């Protein structure tokens, strides 16, 4: 018999808040490497002047309790599952027959990404939509992330995460079939679920494709594939340092970032700068308070080392989509213009055999649920409209 979920409320102790403030006040920042005239102040990593301002705001302007209360406004639970206490939001839909939707974040994200999109998914009528499009949203903290982490617990790769979340949806919550949506590792997990648990899924919607590197791409003269090849080459040269250290020496990096909130902020904020659709300022794409809520959750839970584990598992194990397998469940994809990588449909179709919706979005980046909640919610609703159980 499956364990029963227990209600959960996040309440960071006051001494932990005081400790964070003390550490931030005593931050010792590096100098800024000289920037050539007209050069990019983020070219070498997190800009020192931006980081100094962010840290000052974190201890002197940011209200953690307000963000904590925003999360606690949603029903939350923990349940013993696959050797850990798994945290998740379970928000009932408001409609005639809400579809269960597993909503998954990635790295360096958390459930704080979803606070603005969940109401749009669970109660579309409140935003001018059709109540028939309502979802019941299940949004877990991925195993090893945030509130699904405890010191000393086992580590999870993507297949392990997929198996755990499949058990949550079917064995714990009793959903026979469900929809899944995700970006970053959440997109990889949705894809893995589609490949290894297809009988449990109505379909998957993703905003990051799990595409293997194809040697044939080097010889392709297809314009879309040539564009992607150039995009991939630049990414591999300039933007994969984090993957190598997280995937080969996660314990070493975890020691630094678990001890220094300034270092943690620098490490995560750099990704928000690199991967969001902003005008030069992160805050034009993502609310500063919400970004700091996300960073703070990593800090208070001490989960940063465990959150690296999908990278380590990826570099030392198989691709998350098993060799020889494809994703054959109905698939929808939203391609945001500032996503890390944007493979063309011709390549995607070699992994995803049943792509039913492919939308090139007008604005947004890697943190789609946080940057463009209305647009992403609309895409998810449109894709699953024809797949709901009452219409199957």
205 is a catalytic site residue: no
287 given a catalytic annotation: no
Which of 203, 201, 205 has the alpha carbon at shortest distance from 187?
Answer: 205
Catalytic residue selected from 105, 197, 273, 366: 366
Catalytic residue, from 116, 123, 163, 184: name it: 184
End-to-end Cα, the chain, rounded Å: 30
Are the C-beta atoms of residues 195 and 321 closer than 8 Å to each other?
A: yes
Tell me which DSSP letter residue 138 carries: E
259 assigned to active site: no
Contact 58, 24 (CB under 8 A): yes
Residue 335 to residue 176: CA distance in whole angstroms: 29
Residues 6+ apart with CB under 8 A from 298: 108, 110, 146, 264, 268, 304, 307
Closest CA to 194 of 348, 374, 9: 348
* Annotated catalytic residue, options 311, 312, 333, 352: 311
Closest CA to 214 of 232, 240, 235: 232
Nearest by Cα to 354 from 381, 333, 324, 327: 327
Name every residue whose Cβ is closer than 8 Å to that of residue 245 and which is 6 or more positions away in sequence.
252, 253
Q: Which residues are catalytic?
A: 184, 311, 366
């Amino acid at each position: 018999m499956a364990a029963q979920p227990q209600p959960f409320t996040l309440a960071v102790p006051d001494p932990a808040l005081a400790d964070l403030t003390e550490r931030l006040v005593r931050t010792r920042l590096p100098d800024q490497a000289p920037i050539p005239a007209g050069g990019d102040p983020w070219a070498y990593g997190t800009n020192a002047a931006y980081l100094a301002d962010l840290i000052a705001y974190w201890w002197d302007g940011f209200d953690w309790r307000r963000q904590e209360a925003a999360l606690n406004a949603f029903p939350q639970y923990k349940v013993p599952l696959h050797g850990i206490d798994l945290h998740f939001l379970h928000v009932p839909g408001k409609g005639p027959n809400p579809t269960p939707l597993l909503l998954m974040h990635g790295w360096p994200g958390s459930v704080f990404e979803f606070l603005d999109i969940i109401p749009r998914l669970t109660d579309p009528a409140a935003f001018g939509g059709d109540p028939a499009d309502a979802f019941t949203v299940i949004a877990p903290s991925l195993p090893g992330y945030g509130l699904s982490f405890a010191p000393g617990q086992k580590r999870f790769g993507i297949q392990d995460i997929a198996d755990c979340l499949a058990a949550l949806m079917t064995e714990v919550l009793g959903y026979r079939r469900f929809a899944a949506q995700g970006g970053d590792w959440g997109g990889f997990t949705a894809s893995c679920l589609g490949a290894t648990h297809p009988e449990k899924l109505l379909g998957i919607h993703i905003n990051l494709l799990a595409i293997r590197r194809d040697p044939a791409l080097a010889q392709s003269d297809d314009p879309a594939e040539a564009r992607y090849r150039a995009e991939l080459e630049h990414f591999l040269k300039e933007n994969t340092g984090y993957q190598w250290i997280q995937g080969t020496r996660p314990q070493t990096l975890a020691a630094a970032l678990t001890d220094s909130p300034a270092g943690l902020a620098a490490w995560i904020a750099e990704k928000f700068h690199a991967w969001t659709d902003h005008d030069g300022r992160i805050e034009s794409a993502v609310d500063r308070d919400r970004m700091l809520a996300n960073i703070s959750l990593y800090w208070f839970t001490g989960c940063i080392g465990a959150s690296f584990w999908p990278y380590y598992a990826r570099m030392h194990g198989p691709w998350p989509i098993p060799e020889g397998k494809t994703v054959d469940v109905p698939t929808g994809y939203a391609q945001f213009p500032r996503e890390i990588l944007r493979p063309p449909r011709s390549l995607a179709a070699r992994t995803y055999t049943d792509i039913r919706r492919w939308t090139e979005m007008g604005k947004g980046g890697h943190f789609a649920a946080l940057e463009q909640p209305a647009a992403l919610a609309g895409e998810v609703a449109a894709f699953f409209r024809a797949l709901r159980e009452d219409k199957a």
